[in-house]
A and B are shown apart, each in its own frame.
Chain A
């Protein structure tokens, strides 16, 4: 461990908070229809988009109607993406398939499409050896935007349900989607893409290069329009790399500065949305309390991962490698990590992308130490509430807030109230279900894949002992949380040659993962919108003496307790079998 390493973690948290506050304020204005500095430029395009889409933005939607729009739009996106990926060579006329790659097989495509539609970006395929530039741009990049937009829209709908004083309206899905894309994602994404490209992230449509090295060898170098996808991949907490090794690849993340910048891109919207929530509900301190809870959990995770990775792995020690800091070397577990990021930059990045549903990686999670790897596991076990994905993080933690208020109410013996609204059986039941579906999907799929021969086919050869279970568990946990990071040895696509000839998908893993992602995305969304609908109609009663406060440290502690307890009770047995066993022993398997 180094001073610079700790400084990175602390400064990152400070910069993030400083940037998220104004963005949160800006977004609150956008979603309440107030004027923002971009209104003069974007109001015209916004009206034009409503016209083209044939929607009336003033048409108020009941929760069921809102949910229907979400589902139909997502299904349309699924079909379009499947079509594009399966007809890859049909689009050769655009000149955007210079490598002449064929389409992947149906099963891996099913998985990929489900993955990008649900904001997961789990990747069984490898970008630079399977996909054309056209598929990456017109296919995957588009879903990077839209899945992020859908997530944020649902979170905004929930906030409207919470603050709604009369009627049952949650707003209009199409308006929320269009505003998210135009006012939030577009300016940030364009700016970020250009910053990244200026620092060395590729943005080129040329064919792969062939270099002749100074020792007389040849090196083929993958190219592509990476920066435009990289920006939205991070901002939308999507996480799917253009290139196989994601943000570890120098063309996706060329310097220690871009590493810091990319981490900020990942967390900026989820962090800002918590402040947006505080502003839209008129109780900013409630927002700060929630922010405090998730920030504390985030920092704890980062610290544990940093210490564990700096210590090195049992395999390194057994091989006689010394892992302490020496002059000119940061030491630690550098297997699967890049020199320019070092231990702190790698550990922090992987915590940033696993607390959110981003799932980008800048180092190999599979090679993390047991305890270092247990941190992403724990983050996922908390069901993406520690900041979480764009929109999904906010609506998920609000379900936990509901539960915490309810439990608090039981403890003081009063009818629980939240932001002036009485919580009753219906909301609590819906919130409980909404919280439980994701762990249910994760554990069910893990059990099925571990217990069946078809599931074990995906485990990599080198993953002996508990590592095999860790790989499997992580795969379905990550897909259920729509995260997408992986213990990348776990395979669902066997591809002997670049360009897909002779490749075959592992149908069991592809389909199970695909259903895992879709179920764990849309079931919670339905519960969240139902909660929003149930809250929307309630009368607001002014807070009295007996009302439990939700904006003070006591509440923050209660909320942390609920999150940790639910996560621990659900996942502890499974975590013991994998990462914890590995972290507690120096035995090699």
Chain B
């Protein structure tokens, strides 16, 4: 018994140093040298300023202006709406606003809950309000599933190709670009299935939006 206690105590201290400090620091060291971009979150900088991570979803929103020309507030926080010039990411259930990358969370909405139906109906309504002016005849049944469901992490960087094709109409109209140009950009920022069969193709929204801005010479 005494022997076990002594060995256990030494073991815990020793393994903590070995597996809890040496191992992670070693992996950190190698990763920072070998793949610094990936290990540091694939940061994207624009004019020397960090604007986000390639693989973390963002809300492309702007403050809603009131009648007096100043941003509207609700409960002390500015009211935001989608920026029509940009493709929009999937719904997100993170607290303190969508795509909160400091506190990822699931929506945890159950399959048979009224709350889920209401949330999805709400998202369909918002999607139609944004896209229907540019895609006349868009019905709730045509809303792509990913556009009306919250992602797992709340930080999904991608949308489906179907979703991008709907949004392309709006983006092209607002930016006064030919639809084919926008569709072309969508295609070039679409990630294929992993190894050709794993997962679903997806369109990286941040990269696509940046490409649009670049095309038109900086943020429009």
Contact surface of A with B, Cβ cutoff 8 Å? 4, 7-8, 11, 49, 52-55, 68-69, 72-73, 75-77, 80, 126, 128-129, 137-139, 141-142, 145-146, 174, 177, 181, 189-190, 193-194, 197-206, 208-217, 219-223, 225, 227-229, 243-245, 248-251, 254-260, 312-316, 318-323, 326-346, 361-364, 366-370, 372-373, 460, 462-467, 470, 487-489, 498, 582, 585-589
Closest 8 CB pairs of A and B: A256-B199, A256-B194, A248-B152, A342-B200, A328-B161, A328-B162, A313-B111, A138-B20
User: What residues of A have a CB within 8 angstroms of the CB of B162 in the complex?
Assistant: 326-329
User: What residues of B have a CB within 8 angstroms of the CB of A77 in the complex?
Assistant: 8, 12
Q: Decide yes or no: A330 and B160 within 8 Å by CB, A200-B42, A366-B110 being known contacts.
A: yes
The residue from A141, A203, A260, A341 contacting B195, defined by CB atoms under 8 A apart: A260
Question: What is the 8 Å Cβ interface bit string for chain B, positions 37-71, against chain A (1 contact, 0 not)?
Answer: 01111110010011111011111111000000000
Interface centre among A322, A332, A463, A470 (most CB of B within 10 A): A322
Nearest chain A residue, comparing its CB with the CB of B14: A52
Taking a contact as CB atoms under 8 Å apart, the answer to whether B121 and A319 are in contact is yes
Q: Decide yes or no: A467 and B50 within 8 Å by CB, A334-B146, A339-B146 being known contacts.
A: no
Q: Decide yes or no: A589 and B113 within 8 Å by CB, A69-B4, A364-B152 being known contacts.
A: yes
Shortest distance in angstroms between A483's beta carbon and chain B's nearest beta carbon?
A: 17
User: What residues of B have a CB within 8 angstroms of the CB of A138 in the complex?
Assistant: 16, 20-21
Name B's interface SS: mixed
Q: How far is the CA of A49 from the CA of B162 in the complex (A)?
A: 57
Contact surface of B with A, Cβ cutoff 8 Å? 1, 3-16, 19-21, 23-24, 26-28, 30-32, 34-35, 38-43, 46, 49-53, 55-62, 80, 83, 86, 90, 99-118, 120-121, 124, 140-146, 148-165, 191, 193-195, 197-202, 209-210, 213, 219
Q: How far is the CA of A346 from the CA of B146 in the complex (A)?
A: 14
Shortest distance in angstroms between A185's beta carbon and chain B's nearest beta carbon?
A: 9
Taking a contact as CB atoms under 8 Å apart, the answer to whether B112 and A466 are in contact is yes
User: What residues of B have a CB within 8 angstroms of the CB of A336 in the complex?
Assistant: 106-109, 149-152
The residue from A212, A315, A339, A367 contacting B159, defined by CB atoms under 8 A apart: A339
Q: Can you list 17 residue pairs at the A/B interface with Cβ under 8 Å?
A: A7-B197, A8-B198, A11-B197, A76-B11, A137-B20, A198-B38, A201-B38, A244-B103, A250-B55, A315-B116, A319-B124, A320-B121, A321-B148, A323-B145, A332-B145, A336-B151, A366-B109
Q: How far is the CA of A228 from the CA of B23 in the complex (A)?
A: 7
The residue from A52, A177, A190, A213 contacting B51, defined by CB atoms under 8 A apart: A213
Q: How far is the CA of A77 from the CA of B90 in the complex (A)?
A: 42
User: What residues of B have a CB within 8 angstroms of the CB of A315 in the complex?
Assistant: 109-114, 116-117, 120
The residue from B100, B111, B157, B161 contacting A370, defined by CB atoms under 8 A apart: B111
Taking a contact as CB atoms under 8 Å apart, the answer to whether B9 and A76 are in contact is yes
User: What residues of A have a CB within 8 angstroms of the CB of B104 in the complex?
Assistant: 128, 222, 243-245, 248-249
Taking a contact as CB atoms under 8 Å apart, the answer to whether A462 and B12 are in contact is no
Q: How far is the CA of A533 from the CA of B159 in the complex (A)?
A: 56
Taking a contact as CB atoms under 8 Å apart, the answer to whether A314 and B111 are in contact is yes
Shortest distance in angstroms between A116's beta carbon and chain B's nearest beta carbon?
A: 12
Nearest chain A residue, comparing its CB with the CB of B89: A339
Taking a contact as CB atoms under 8 Å apart, the answer to whether A141 and B158 are in contact is no
Q: How far is the CA of A8 from the CA of B51 in the complex (A)?
A: 35
Q: How far is the CA of A206 from the CA of B43 in the complex (A)?
A: 13
